[in-house]
Amino acid sequence: MNDEAKRTNGQTIPNGMLEDNYPRNMWWVAAHRDELTTKPLARWLLETPVVLYRLEDGTPAALYDRCPHRWAPLSEGHVEGDKIICPYHGMEFNKAGRCTKAPTQHMRPKTAEIPSFAVREAGAYVWIWMGDQDAIDCDPPEVEYQSDPGWAPVHGYYEVAANWVLIRENVLDLTHIAFLHKDTFKQDDWITAPDTYMDGETICYEQEFDLAPLSPLFCAGMGLPEDKPIKRVQKGRMPSLAISFSDWNVHDPAPEEGHRSDFIVRGCHIVTPAQRGKTHYFWMAAFDVPSLTDVVAEKTRASVTAAFDEDKHLLEKLQASVAADPRGLDFLEVTLGADGAGIKVRQILNKKLKAEGRSLQRQ
């Protein structure tokens, strides 16, 4: 291969960030559990308009957000019992998407059916399976601590104008923290790549650090001063393309009398494809303490948001630039040592798409 070819061979392993690169046969997060009520919620998921709601008994449901009569969005309607009512002509649909009543006529239109999707509530989130419903062979990933009274969570949500893979790779490559987040995370020792390995189909990493001050994002939640040197071990895992975790295992070698010496703060990063080039990003930081004061919770939320705003800004600029560039993905992409986890993400993605009979075009 000549030098010019080497410079223009694009991605060795494609991530499909400009394409439909969303596996269908897996669980994705549709919403935080607190978002779902009997008031219908409209949300684009995997380039599909979906209406999410709870039946009056609290059961979550999800349908294609389009009445088959004159295509009015069902999300503009309302719920009565176990039915959702179209706002346009009052047609009623059950959670299976079947029309059970058309008030303007005596006969129920037998062809008036719309797709329904399997939804399951697990931990703090409502999950959805949008592929082959007969292919459901597992439960959503377990996230026990999200509802454990021994843990105190802080959570948030973004809609990011970038492909979901960019966010997934971002949260698995933590060497960017020392640069992009130098004024927010203030963790400048994170410049070497962790050991990355596979545990079955789960991507894992682990890295131990010498004594250094903890990031101010998490000091308040642990009751630690921002200038105190501590030991920490970073552990991460991605059991699904939809969700990954990053644990900060903190050890204070000289705790004050009566204070704990060991803490864990668990980061949770959830991505769900929305419309093309957009992603729902749900995040959570959970401390292994029973509760946080309102002041500490708000300080933590504001600090994490300030850091994630930096990610959002850069990834949206990246997406827009690549999408507008006529060369698109046909441009040299250099892989560094810290990209081990990101490369594994792409390998898993391509394997899942191949299993669904789809593939990404190598640029």
The full set of domains in the chain, from first to last, is 27-130 (2.102.10.10), 148-355 (3.90.380.10)
Per-residue pLDDT tens for 128-173? 999 999 999 999 987 878 778 899 999 999 999 999 999 999 999 9
Residue with tokens 């992603």: 279
Q: Are 147 and 274 in contact (CB under 8 A)?
A: no
What H or E segment, with its residue span, contains residue 54?
strand 48-54
Q: Which residue numbers in the chain have pLDDT < 70?
A: 1-9, 361-363
Separation CA 259–CA 342 (nearest Å): 38
Assess contact for 283 and 168: CB atoms under 8 A. no
Residue 1: the pLDDT is 40
Q: How many angstroms separate the most distant Cα atoms in the chain? A: 78
Residue closest to 128 by CA, chosen among 45, 201, 15, 244: 45
List pLDDT tens digits, range 323-332: 999 999 999 9
